[in-house]
Structure 1
Amino acid sequence: MPGQNHSIVSEFILIGFANFPQQLLPAFFLLFLLMYLFTLLGNLLIMATVWSERSLHTPMYLFLCALSISEILYTFAIIPRMLADLLSTCPTIPFVACASQMFFSFTFGFTHSFLLTVMGYDRYVAICHPLRYNILMSSWGCACLVALSWAGGSVMGMVVTTAIFNLTFCGPNKVHHFFCHVPPLVKLACGENVSIVAKGVGLLCITALLGCCLLILLSYAFIVATILKIPSAEGRHKAFSTCASHLTVVIVHYGFASVIYLKPKGPHSLQGDTLMGTTYTVLTPFLSPIIFSLRNKELKNALKKTFLSKLFPLSS
């Protein structure tokens, strides 16, 4: 990475779990491992179901598959190393590996946010402009939206990582987190432009996240206004049910993100910061496939049809 020649730090020590009692670490390892495996299994089941069920070959489920891929890659960038560090006596990470982890975590994290925004737009078109849905959400248009989401995430990852690792790290090299995140790394940097870079990166990230959130809120403002005009209660319920899973995931995603990234400045314990970090990196991806599976009736029925009928053929 640029700036590496100016740094005397060749590796970092991740001490996110260092202050926890040692006897708790195996329990954390088992809990996070099970949640990670469930996250992988849940997203893979969703992708396999959409792939095998022709009735789900629609833009909404195409976006859901892309969301599952970004979630798998995001957790893969962080959780396996975190699990290994939980059982390690000296959890170190090389300089280049730290930069790579930051790049991939920000790339897939922002891709996830952009895809949630695209899914909100999809629901807006489906409910507010149903007659134009097939035109506005054509196969080519959907592919472009997915590609733009991935491109936008990659740009964000590259900009943030380049800005942070252009800083000079003079030591110490102890990162007060369980992965290479911006705030704890900025605290280790030295030089005159550290504050400017930190504020610039923070402003960029918050602007992107708030922009996505506001676009989603705007989409749902139009959606709710349209649903309220539907005369029958059954019609209103049916229309809103198509948005329920997406809206729930958005609330969970931005709820945990706001707790972590918009918390007030002040003294915080290392244990508290670490546990708050796990809510966004471990708990949110864990809840996402559960929410989509339980709150989306079409997907839930397709899961039962595709897998339960094969596992329990006699019961079907």
Structure 2
Amino acid sequence: MDDKEKKAIKVFQNKKIKDVATKEKDSFFSVRYIPSNSILKQVESISNQKTNSILNSWVRLAADEKTYKRQIENEKRILEISSRILGQINDDKKRNENIRELENETLKKYLLSRLSQKAQEKKGEKNFLDVFRLNSNHKSVVVSIDIRDSTQLMLNAKTPELFAEFISDVSEKISKVIKENYGIPDKFTGDGLLCFFPKGYSGEDAIYYALRASAAAHKLFETEYKKHYDKFSVVKADVGLGIGIDYGDVFFAPICQEPTIVGKPVVYACRLSAAPAYHTYLNQPAFECVEKKYSHLYSFDTHTISFKNQGSMVAYDVDLNFDAISPKEPEWLNDN
């Protein structure tokens, strides 16, 4: 082998070694770099996850703490509001109790001179006073008693004092008749009386007692008027009572600190008391009470009564057979 051939082989071998070395170098750095980069990414990923997890935990803890504080604040606020409401309820309860006690005292004073002797004995009982609950509606028969032509009667009196004495005496005795028939004389109207017979007090036969009291009042006035003839300069022969009766809901309320009844039956009973002397006129609802409870035990006449600027209305003049009826006594009489 000559020198040229040997030189060519050596060059070739050197080149091959260099290429191999280059490949090994590239392979070494490639093998070392790639795993290193992956590990770093993994470490970074793990680190980020842990960091995020820790941050999320902090965020959650902070949120939970805020929520917890908010819940505590809300609970405190609820407790404060509840406490105020309970305080108001207790205050309202005490106020209502005080109002009720005041109403009972007002009622007792009102009823003191307006109840029959039997009812006076029951007046102290709580349930009995509930019959006359103030600021409430009561189904009642309303009776308005009017001394007809009372103005002329007063002018015929010898003195105002004598007329006042006459009116006072008659009113007291009519009030007694009303009370004996389980009615309540509500007020003196100047020339008569306004009375009512609440079903809770007078019972289911309230209309019976109202009519019986009215009939007794007519007779009483006639008798008492004759006794007082000496108080008048001129004695009118046609002086008597006109009585109007109606039935329905009346509202029992303190007006000017004095309990009284108001309502539609009061209005129409007062209007019908314009009946002629010695007559009792019933409005339709009152007449229906008679018709329903005492069929075939009464007779009646119908009349038309006119009112100035208010037209006219039909009224019933009822004659009830009192002796043929056995009215029920009010329930409170039998309560122990």
Same fold at TM > 0.5:
no
Higher strand share: 2
Higher helix share: 1
TM-score (norm 1): 0.25
Q: Which of 1 and 2 has greater Rg?
A: 2
Q: Name which structure has the greater RCO, CA cutoff 8 Å, separation 6+.
A: 1
